[in-house]
Amino acid sequence: MSTKTTTIRPPDTRAVRRRVSLSDRIALRIGMTLIIWSRRTHRVRPSVDFETRQRLERERLDREARWLVQSAAMHLWH
């Protein structure tokens, strides 16, 4: 850890709070509304054929197996 990061004090919480402008509050409200709306809007997923689903499942299992072998090897090495 560098000395620069260890010597910086946390921000002063007793600072005077500045008022937020009306336009900023409106923009924040609109932005949050759009985020919530977009998360509630469900997109229709494309149908995936059986062979593609099986291939993706095999690839996922292969990745998991490689990850397990690698983590076991790192554990033994450590």
Interior angle at CA 36, CA 19 and CA 41, nearest 5: 160
Closest CA to 29 of 41, 20, 16, 40: 20
How confident is the model at residue 19, as a pLDDT? 86
* N-terminal to C-terminal alpha carbon distance within the chain: 24
Residue 24: how many other CB atoms lie within 10 Å: 10
Alpha helices (H) in 1-78, listed in sequence order = 3-7, 22-40, 50-77
5-54 pLDDT, tens digit each: 566 666 666 767 778 899 999 999 999 999 988 888 777 777 888 999 99
